[in-house]
Structure 1
Amino acid sequence: MLLRIIINKDDIRKIQTDSEPETLDSFYSFLKCKLGLGGDFVVQFQDPDFGNEFCNLSSLSELPKEKATLKVILKQIPESPQTDSTLDTASLSSPSSSSMEDTPSCRRPWPDPFVIPKFSYDVELKLKRGNEAYQENGTLLITNKDTKSEILEKLAEEIYKYSAYPSREQYDIVAQSLVKKHPCLREPGSVKGWYCWKFSLKFKMGNYRNKLRVSGCSELTVNRRNSGPKQKLKKAKKSEVNFLPDVPEGKTQNVLEEERAAIVAEMKKKKVDWKKVTDMMASTFPLRRKEIVEEQPLVAEVKAKWPALFTDTQIEAEFARLTSTDLWDTFVSGLDQYMERFLQMFRAKSHCIQALSSLLSLLDDDNSVQKKRAVILRGLPHFLREDPSKLLKIAETTESEEQMAKGVSIGVLLIQEEEDVIDFSVVLEEQIILNGITDFPHAVAMLVGLLFALNIDYPKELRYTFEVIQKVLMNIGGEQCSARVHGLRNRLLCKTL
């Protein structure tokens, strides 16, 4: 079926369905993936009974067999729970991590500002008296061993809610916040007043991790000291908030393995029950992460064991489980937020970077939002002085898949016939992993989602490009940037070049 989709007056797309969806829910899932939509939305069709005026779609039987014009209306998520009794509309919610339990292994984004927790009653009383004395005459509180140990233990517990391996900057933030809330704890003779607290906190955090490691915490047992030759520390590198969760209560590894086998069997069916697959993918998340993080398998091996993970919907769902962030919505909103500023900076550099000038000339014929997004993403490696050929490779339809993907470890493949764009695909380890993608921005978003899902490091040749996408556009871990990316973000926020 050929579909003309009206999202708004400036965004009208044409998509093709190879087979007719069987249910309204599967049709909504198809539209969500193809259009990159997030949140709830309503689909309307041109009803011939009312002079082709738009009406809400309630059944697939209302659609013409060959081609149709549809309108997609985005709406806010209702406050009241949604029921199955809705008759004349249907909606699809964006991927969410709400299905996962609030366990200690489930991280939250690092808070800004960091809130110092409450301590036990006697410690809070000592701090209250100490702060009063400090305000009155500048007297500092002398803490005994037990009081200091409790303060550090409580802070370590609070830090662990956000990060098992906090950075140097995060230790600084916690120590500063402590003496800001309780100035009586400032250190005499220290310029900042909190250096010793910072180093004591680092030691306490190490002891706290060791205690949890002995207790069997998955995220920490993976880095056992006696686990063989010294290896790189396996920890969240992309600010994942749910990097390596424990198996939930009531489940065992054997039960999760049975569910994994059931997913593989379901994916082989001609008519896949996508709701069933989605539920099982959510519940088997701890098993999947354990395999990916600990064993570091090849992408082909992961695809054989977890075929559902390599679909648009499940890539977005896995990204949400890892980061508590919607992949496409966050990606495109950041891109649109800085769009005009990026284009200004590209124009300013185009006189010395010819590739930027060529990309900007593409907007002369097509100045749509979609085209601007693609130009910015393609121009980013040029602007950051990286190798753009590592991000996008152009291939012809006459080439075989092996020829197309050859030499591409991580990147996007643009397949064209003469000058017509036929398809975009995601390539990992010289294999086409995901195809049938409508445009370059969606392909980049899917690539980012897969790098998170498969725990793959950003390629060295494009480290700054992906850092900008993650930390600037998507604001995931944005509080810690390299000098080059920090400078770019400052320029984006400036009003003048």
Structure 2
Amino acid sequence: MARTFEFRRKEVVDKKPDIKNLLERWPGLFQMEEINAEFLRVTAVPLLTRFMVQLDKHSPQLLKIIRKKGGTTKAKTAIILEFLDQDADADIRRECILKSLIIYLGERVEDLIKEYMISQKDEAEEELQSTTMALFVFRDNSSLLHQPRDIGIIIDGVEVLNELPSVAAGVAKVFGLCYALNMEYPRGFRFTFEALQKIMMELDFNKMTSKIRICMHVCMYLAQKLTLPAITKVAVLKFRAVTQLLVKFLAFTSSTYSLSKDSLALKFSMKQLEELSVSFLGAPHQWMSCLRFDNLDNEDELPRISLQCTGLLLLCTRAG
């Protein structure tokens, strides 16, 4: 496969053959090890190794961010994260974190990871025929603590891979196939796959949407991987300007949605914000515990500003 890479890549990129044609011409490309090898040829990055190492590395920080989220996100992720407290092994832990991350980013887990009972096989096959790109999982029961009977990948209604070792490995292979086959990311998972690409795989991470950039910066600060800049007069002044805008925004949000002061998780006055500006520059985690809107009555109707505000305040420290 290495010898034919240049010819195959030209065919995949220029002619864009359908998945059935690719399976017939390059059946070896759809083997687990060959997906890893093809991804390495395209990106010079090892697929499965980098994916698992980075997922494990960022898991503690991702969990902190996800657990702080309120509203429907908290309700949906709570069911999944319960399994982490039940002696879950590494594969189950990774699966739970990936599913929670998808929910946290506002996307639908069930559209990317399609799960069925083994008794639903006929029904599943009919549904998967109309699936563009997804991971399918067959289980004996609904518990994540039991090893699935089968895990595979479907592309344009065609099963291209099965008997995968775990859901996390399956997600990695879906990501790898997007590169190997020069395909777009699955529809409806723009943020999930951007996070996988730029946070987990560290590919083209200089260009990212604000949502993923903020998520990455928060993870890095929580992991204490960034060196905070020295406190300068300019940085403090810019910080104060940002906090003034933030206070005005919170006041506007409160009045617009007729929320009582007690319903807001952030209750700092302008004076308190300024007094804490210096300590913030040295201890951002103090602010991340404050900039939350978990107590809002109608969180789904409000702008999703919790993480945005956190990122705004974190990023302003770099101004000096």
Q: Measured at CA, do residues 385 and 336 of structure 1 come closer, stay the same or move farther in structure 2, by a change above 3 Å?
A: same
Give 1:418's match in structure 2, choosing from 128, 132, 141: 141
Aligned residue in 2 for 1:428: 155
Structure whose residues are more often strand by fraction: 1
- Supply the AA of the counterpart residue of 2:183: I
User: How many Å apart are 1:350 and its aligned residue?
Assistant: 5.0
Higher relative contact order structure (alpha carbons within 8 Å, sequence separation ≥ 6) = 2
Q: Measured at CA, do residues 380 and 407 of structure 1 come closer, stay the same or move farther in structure 2, by a change above 3 Å?
A: farther
Contact 1:351-1:357 at 8 Å conserved across structures: no
How far, CA to CA, are the matches of 2:70 and 2:88 in structure 1? 18
Q: Secondary structure at 1:283's aligned position in 2?
A: coil
How far, CA to CA, are the matches of 1:408 and 1:282 in structure 2? 30
How far, CA to CA, are the matches of 2:102 and 2:72 in structure 1? 15
1:386 aligns with 2:110: no
Contact 1:410-1:428 at 8 Å conserved across structures: yes
Aligned residue in 2 for 1:370: 91
Aligned residue in 2 for 1:309: 29
Aligned residue in 2 for 1:482: 209
Q: Secondary structure at 1:494's aligned position in 2?
A: helix
- Supply the AA of the counterpart residue of 1:379: S
User: How many Å apart are 1:494 and its aligned residue?
Assistant: 2.3
Give 1:361's match in structure 2, choosing from 58, 61, 82: 82
- Supply the AA of the counterpart residue of 1:415: F
How far, CA to CA, are the matches of 2:44 and 2:141 in structure 1? 41
Contact 2:55-2:200 at 8 Å conserved across structures: yes
How far, CA to CA, are the matches of 1:384 and 1:326 in structure 2? 25
Report Cα offsets for 1:434-493 as digits up to 9, x if no partner.
000111111111111111100001123001100100111110111111111111111112
How far, CA to CA, are the matches of 1:402 and 1:423 in structure 2? 13
> Is the deviation greater in 391-400 or in 448-457?
391-400
Report Cα offsets for 1:63-102 as digits up to 9, x if no partner.
xxxxxxxxxxxxxxxxxxxxxxxxxxxxxxxxxxxxxxxx
User: How many Å apart are 1:337 and its aligned residue?
Assistant: 1.2
Aligned residue in 2 for 1:338: 58
Q: Secondary structure at 1:460's aligned position in 2?
A: coil
User: How many Å apart are 1:388 and its aligned residue?
Assistant: 1.8
User: How many Å apart are 1:355 and its aligned residue?
Assistant: 1.1
1:408 aligns with 2:128: no
User: How many Å apart are 1:404 and its aligned residue?
Assistant: 5.1
Contact 2:91-2:167 at 8 Å conserved across structures: no
Aligned residue in 2 for 1:140: none
- Supply the AA of the counterpart residue of 1:358: I
Alignment of 1:17-36 (within 5 A): none
User: How many Å apart are 1:395 and its aligned residue?
Assistant: 1.9
Structure whose residues are more often helix by fraction: 2
Aligned residue in 1 for 2:188: 461
Q: Secondary structure at 2:38's aligned position in 1?
A: helix
Q: Secondary structure at 2:116's aligned position in 1?
A: strand
Alignment of 1:310-325 (within 5 A): 310-325=30-45
How far, CA to CA, are the matches of 2:10 and 2:81 in structure 1? 44
Name the larger-Rg structure. 1
How far, CA to CA, are the matches of 1:455 and 1:447 in structure 2? 12
Q: TM-score, length-normalised on structure 1?
A: 0.42
How far, CA to CA, are the matches of 1:397 and 1:460 in structure 2? 27
Question: Where do 5+ consecutive residues of structure 1 fail to align?
Answer: 1-280
Report Cα offsets for 1:34-54 as digits up to 9, x if no partner.
xxxxxxxxxxxxxxxxxxxxx
Contact 1:402-1:431 at 8 Å conserved across structures: no
How far, CA to CA, are the matches of 1:371 and 1:417 in structure 2? 16
Alignment of 1:77-96 (within 5 A): none
Give 1:491's match in structure 2, choosing from 218, 227, 230: 218
- Supply the AA of the counterpart residue of 2:126: Q
| Fraction of identical pairs, as percent | 27
User: How many Å apart are 1:351 and its aligned residue?
Assistant: 5.0
Aligned length: 217
Supply the RMSD in Å over aligned alpha carbons.
1.6
